């Protein structure tokens, strides 16, 4: 009698499992929802296609030799995301070679135009939305919840920085690879095949090469597998699960080791403006302030009305006392998060006892499962199906299985046990999506170069959207009657419309730098006004620039950039007496600001030509700056190079040719060997000085060195030919071959470059 009952239960579970495996296939309704959510993501960001390069894009794209092709391809593995060598003290240590490679291909195929960059970002956001649909189908119990979560992800305004800003591609591509890795590992959990596991590891590696925070992808996959195994006692399945988790752990440890040990790590020293809390001497202030930051990030997900391109400086005031009211919010947040997680895990662990009988049935009747279910049931071996509660729901007259918005996911199959325990497992997975990708950048474990960055919420927002979709699914299942469900749809529609309108508005802010900086004046006044003044100055709107920069200095008097830019405005208006104090103050605040030395020397000479000694001292000091900890190494080196050139020209104008030679030789000794164009100009300047000294052999040697560095420049051949002519190595009319054709020296009247 007992044996017959067990066989009957085995047949029921096998049929149930086979039915659920077939339901994993996409139906026409599922394809329609997938297309609709993807199209929504595409349409909402169409107005980003005519945007330009703004803010960080200029440095990461236009000023990055790894992107423009000015540097060799191998440097992708040696430089950070911004083109700075990883060993440089000014590097942020952000190693993302796969993303930089995509930028390089974009630049090559699009000739440096902004449109192709924005188009790829838009396509990546659409792909990420489609993957969110597929992920939601594995977790949420109804199509209504799947579509709600995916549509919210497509329309959420917090994604505008990642999509509209070109540098946000790192977050987009990391999210796409992470979601794909999760989906392939879910397949591996069903089949326990090596191919799916290998694809998972490759996708996780690709995500890591796009963004450092994606290192948590393997943790997320492991969390899902562990939760699935809590309700099972089948020895064979535990063995396969342990093998998979061991491989994930080894891969994660190898990734961490390679990132921390093999890839060069700079001695990063972030500025106080970028992350002021990190420079706080009081550990109590640091702890309370950093504990509050996750609350601020969650607030942006819940209410994305106030967004900013930068949250540094004092945009988020630090918590200096225990009596700050924000500590109450932080405490409530962590207590709630901990309580929900513990309750879900406790219920999940308790599900093992309730599923013991079904586990025994599945273990005894494995041959029967294989005969009845064929390959599909064999694929589900080891995952004891707990979807009996779904059958009960489908038999309910109030929730027919044929409903378009009805049950569509496999969450209950992958998480065995009761409906409650399966739902709790889904909650834990959603919290994992929300929390795990955020941990590396939360400043709680180690300091990063920012307080808050909206684009970093792109992947964590998947967890937030899944939680909302789960809540929507629960309400959809509990509400009876078309009127109640219609009201629920209306509420969701209002939310999506408001988010969509905010996204469109925020996209316009990212069209150009002036709009972007204006939008943040109320959130981060000193940073926004300082950058706005720089934009006005570059456009020749000097009076507006002065007002903006002076306002920024009033908010934050220790802003070196604001003082420097204000000096530029005064210099452009030929008000040199006002420019000099600005440059001097900028140097006091940032002694490594080479451009300030260069511009101050220029202003000194323009104001009073008799102050050439003081100007020369400023140029020499700026040229010899080591640049320790400077953020933009390329700009710093260009400023040093210009200082050397101007100092040599100053010596030549005063008749001090030997000092000019010494300065140029010093520049050649200190300038990087890969700056071929600048080194060629220095050799040409040396040749010109030797000509003035009538040192013909030395002049010829310097011209030859310049020609070797720039063999494609016709002017270099002309100058070299003239040097040869002076030394009587070639006569009038001698022809020197160039790549562009031939140049007859006797027909040229150009003088040597001076």
pLDDT greater than 50 at residue 295: yes
pLDDT band at 221 (very low <50, low <70, confident <90, very high): very high
Three-state SS letters, 462-490: HHHHHHHHHHHHHHHHHCCCHHHHHHHHH
User: Could you read off the pLDDT of 62-105 as tens digits, one per residue?
Assistant: 888 889 888 788 888 888 888 888 887 777 778 899 999 999 99
Mean pLDDT of 639-666: 88
CA distance 454 to 168: 10
- The pLDDT of residue 637 is 85
> End-to-end alpha-carbon separation of the chain, Å?
106
User: Could you read off the pLDDT of 480-500 as tens digits, one per residue?
Assistant: 888 889 999 999 999 999 999
Place of tokens 């950093």: 290
User: Among 229-233, 463-467, 479-483, where is mean pLDDT lowest?
Assistant: 229-233
Of the two residues 268 and 639, the one the predictor is more confident about is 639
CB < 8 Å & 24+ apart, contacts of 501-504: 502/157, 502/304, 502/305, 503/44, 503/45, 503/155, 503/156, 503/157, 503/159, 503/160, 504/44, 504/47
Domains detected in the chain: 276-460 (no CATH), 521-707 (1.25.40.10)
pLDDT band at 437 (very low <50, low <70, confident <90, very high): very high
What's the number of CA atoms in the CB half-sphere (13 Å) around residue 72?
A: 6
- The pLDDT of residue 350 is 59
Distances (CA, A) of 569 to 245, 539, 546, 670, 737: 61, 11, 7, 31, 47
What's the number of CA atoms in the CB half-sphere (13 Å) around residue 508?
A: 7
- The pLDDT of residue 405 is 62
CA distance 29 to 716: 68
pLDDT band at 463 (very low <50, low <70, confident <90, very high): very high
- The pLDDT of residue 705 is 81
User: Among 125-139, 463-477, 712-726, where is mean pLDDT lowest?
Assistant: 712-726
pLDDT greater than 60 at residue 12: no
Q: Which alpha helices (H) appear in 140-234, and where do they start and end? A: 143-155, 160-164, 169-191, 194-210, 217-229
User: Could you read off the pLDDT of 105-138 as tens digits, one per residue?
Assistant: 999 998 889 999 999 999 999 999 999 999 999 9
Give the whole-number percent of the chain exceeding pLDDT 90. 42
């Amino acid at each position: 009698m007992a044996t017959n009952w067990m066989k009957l239960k085995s047949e029921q579970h096998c049929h149930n499992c086979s039915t659920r495996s077939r339901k994993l296939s996409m139906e026409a309704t599922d394809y329609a929802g997938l297309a609709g959510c993807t199209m929504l993501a595409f349409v909402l960001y169409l107005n980003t296609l005519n945007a330009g390069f703004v803010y960080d894009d200029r440095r990461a794209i236009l000023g990055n030799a790894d992107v423009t092709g000015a540097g060799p391809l191998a440097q992708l593995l040696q430089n950070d995301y911004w083109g700075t060598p990883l060993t440089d003290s000014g590097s942020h240590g952000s190693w993302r070679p796969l993303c930089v490679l995509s930028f390089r291909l974009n630049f090559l195929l699009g000739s440096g135009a902004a449109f192709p960059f924005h188009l790829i970002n838009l396509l990546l956001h659409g792909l990420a939305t489609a993957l969110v649909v597929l992920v939601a189908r594995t977790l949420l119990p109804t199509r209504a919840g799947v579509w709600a979560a995916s549509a919210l992800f497509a329309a959420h305004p917090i994604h505008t920085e990642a999509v509209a800003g070109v540098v946000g591609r790192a977050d987009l591509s990391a999210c796409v690879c992470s979601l794909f890795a999760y989906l392939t590992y879910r397949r591996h959990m069903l089949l326990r095949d090596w191919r799916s596991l290998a694809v998972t590891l490759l996708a996780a590696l690709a995500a890591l090469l796009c963004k450092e925070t994606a290192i948590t992808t393997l943790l997320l996959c492991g969390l899902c597998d562990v939760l699935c195994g809590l309700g099972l006692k089948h020895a064979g399945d535990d063995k396969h699960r342990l093998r998979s988790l061991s491989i994930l752990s080894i891969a994660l440890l190898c990734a961490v080791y390679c990132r921390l040990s093999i890839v060069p790590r700079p001695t990063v020293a972030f500025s106080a403006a970028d992350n002021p809390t990190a420079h706080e001497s009081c550990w109590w202030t640091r702890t309370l302030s950093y504990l509050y930051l996750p609350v601020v990030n969650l607030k942006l997900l819940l209410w994305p009305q106030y967004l900013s391109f930068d949250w540094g400086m004092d945009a988020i005031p630090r918590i200096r006392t225990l009596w700050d009211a924000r500590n109450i919010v932080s405490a409530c947040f962590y207590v709630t998060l901990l309580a929900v997680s513990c309750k879900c895990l406790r219920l999940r662990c308790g599900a093992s006892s309730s599923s013991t009988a079904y586990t025994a049935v599945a273990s005894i009747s494995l041959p029967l499962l294989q005969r009845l279910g064929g390959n599909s049931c064999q694929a589900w071996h080891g995952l004891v199906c707990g979807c009996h509660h779904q059958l009960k729901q489908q038999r309910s007259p109030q929730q027919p299985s044929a409903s378009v918005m009805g049950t569509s996911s496999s969450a209950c199959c992958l998480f065995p046990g009761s409906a409650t325990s399966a739902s709790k497992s889904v909650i834990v997975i959603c919290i994992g999506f929300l929390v795990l990708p955020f941990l590396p950048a939360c400043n709680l474990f180690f300091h990063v170069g920012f307080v808050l960055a909206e684009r970093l919420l792109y992947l964590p927002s998947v967890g937030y959207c899944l939680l909302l979709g789960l809540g929507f699914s629960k309400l959809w299942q509990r509400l009876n009657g078309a009127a109640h469900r219609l009201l629920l749809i209306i509420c969701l529609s209002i939310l999506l419309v408001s988010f969509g309108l905010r996204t469109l508005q925020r996209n316009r802010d990212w069209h150009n730098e002036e709009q972007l900086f204006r939008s943040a004046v109320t959130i981060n006044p000193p940073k926004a006004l300082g950058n706005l003044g720089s934009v006005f100055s570059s456009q020749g709107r000097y009076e507006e620039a002065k007002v903006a920069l002076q306002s920024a200095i009033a908010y934050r008097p220790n802003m070196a950039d604001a003082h420097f830019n204000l000096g530029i405005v005064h210099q452009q208006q030929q008000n040199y007496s006002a420019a000099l104090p600005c440059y001097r103050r900028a140097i006091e605040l940032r002694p490594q600001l080479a451009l300030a030395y260069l511009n101050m020397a220029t202003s000194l000479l323009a104001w009073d030509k008799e102050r050439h000694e003081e100007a020369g001292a400023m140029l020499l000091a700026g040229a010899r700056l080591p640049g320790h900890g400077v953020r933009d190494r390329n700009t710093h080196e260009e400023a040093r190079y210009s200082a050397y050139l101007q100092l040599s020209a100053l010596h030549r104008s005063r008749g001090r040719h030997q000092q000019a030679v010494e300065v140029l030789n010093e520049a050649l000794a200190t300038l990087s060997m890969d700056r071929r164009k600048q080194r060629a100009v220095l050799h040409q300047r040396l040749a010109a000085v030797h000509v003035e000294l009538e040192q013909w052999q030395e002049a010829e040697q310097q011209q030859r060195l310049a020609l070797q560095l720039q063999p494609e420049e016709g002017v270099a051949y002309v100058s070299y030919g003239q040097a040869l002519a002076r030394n009587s190595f070639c006569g009038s009319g001698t022809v020197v071959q160039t790549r562009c054709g031939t140049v007859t020296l006797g027909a040229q009247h150009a003088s040597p470059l001076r």
